[in-house]
Amino acid sequence: MTVTLSGCASDDGGGDVTLRLVAADYGTGAENTSKKYWDDVAVKFEKANPGIDVDVSVYSWKDVDREVAEMVKAGKAPDIAQIGAFADYAQADKLYTADEMIAIRTGSNFLPSLTYAGEVDGKLYGLPFVASTRLLFYNKGLFDKAGLGAPQTRDDIRSDAAALKKSGVTYPFALPLGQEESQAETLMWLLSGGGGYTDEVGNYDIDSPANVATFQWLQNDLVGKGLTGPVAPKELDRAKAFDAFTKGEVGMLNGHPTLMQEAEKKGIEVGMVPLPGIDGPTKGSMGVADWMMGFKQNGHRVEIGKFLDFAYKDENVLAFADQYDLLPVTSSASLAMEADSRHEPLHEFLAALPNSQLYPFGKTSWAQVSESIKEKIGSAVEPGASPESVLVQIASQARQAESAE
Residues 6+ apart with CB under 8 A from 29: none
Do 50 and 170 share a domain, yes or no? no
Do 262 and 275 share a domain, yes or no? yes
Q: Any idea which of 159-168, 280-289, 301-310, 349-358 has the lowest mean pLDDT?
A: 349-358
As to burial, measured by CB atoms within 10 angstroms (0-12 exposed, 13-18 middle, 19+ buried), residue 210 is middle
233-258 residues labelled b (16+ CB within 10 A) or e (exposed):
bbebbbbbbbbbbbebbbbbbbbbbb
Q: Give the residue from 316, 331, 355 where a domain finishes.
A: 355
Q: Give the residue from 335, 355, 375 where a domain finishes.
A: 355
Do 122 and 212 share a domain, yes or no? no
Q: Smallest Cα–Cα separation from 206: which of 235, 85, 215, 278?
A: 215
17-48 tens-digit pLDDT: 999 999 999 988 888 999 999 999 999 999 99
| Cα 284 from Cα 260, distance rounded (Å) | 20
Helix (H, G, I), strand (E, B) or coil at 139: strand
Do 189 and 325 share a domain, yes or no? no
- pLDDT of 6 higher than 50: no
Q: What is the pLDDT of residue 11?
A: 39
| CATH number, position 110 | 3.40.190.10
Instruction: Print the domain residue range for 90.
Output: 3-131+288-355
Do 343 and 268 share a domain, yes or no? no
Q: Which comes out higher in pLDDT, residue 94 or 261?
A: 94
Do 214 and 279 share a domain, yes or no? yes
Do 216 and 151 share a domain, yes or no? yes
Do 227 and 299 share a domain, yes or no? no
220-233 tens-digit pLDDT: 999 999 999 999 99
Do 391 and 325 share a domain, yes or no? no
CA distances from 305 to 103, 284, 393 (A): 8, 35, 41
Arithmetic mean of pLDDT over the chain: 92
Do 273 and 333 share a domain, yes or no? no
Q: What's the DSSP call for residue 103?
A: -
Do 262 and 397 share a domain, yes or no? yes
Specify the number of domains making up the chain: 2
Indicate the pLDDT class of residue 14, thresholds 50, 70 and 90: very low
175-214 tens-digit pLDDT: 999 998 899 999 999 999 999 999 988 899 999 999 999 9
Whole-model pTM: value is 0.76
Do 260 and 155 share a domain, yes or no? yes
| Cα 81 from Cα 65, distance rounded (Å) | 9
| Cα 350 from Cα 206, distance rounded (Å) | 28
Q: What is the pLDDT of residue 15?
A: 52
Q: Smallest Cα–Cα separation from 263: which of 278, 284, 241?
A: 241
Percentage of residues in the chain having pLDDT higher than 70: 96
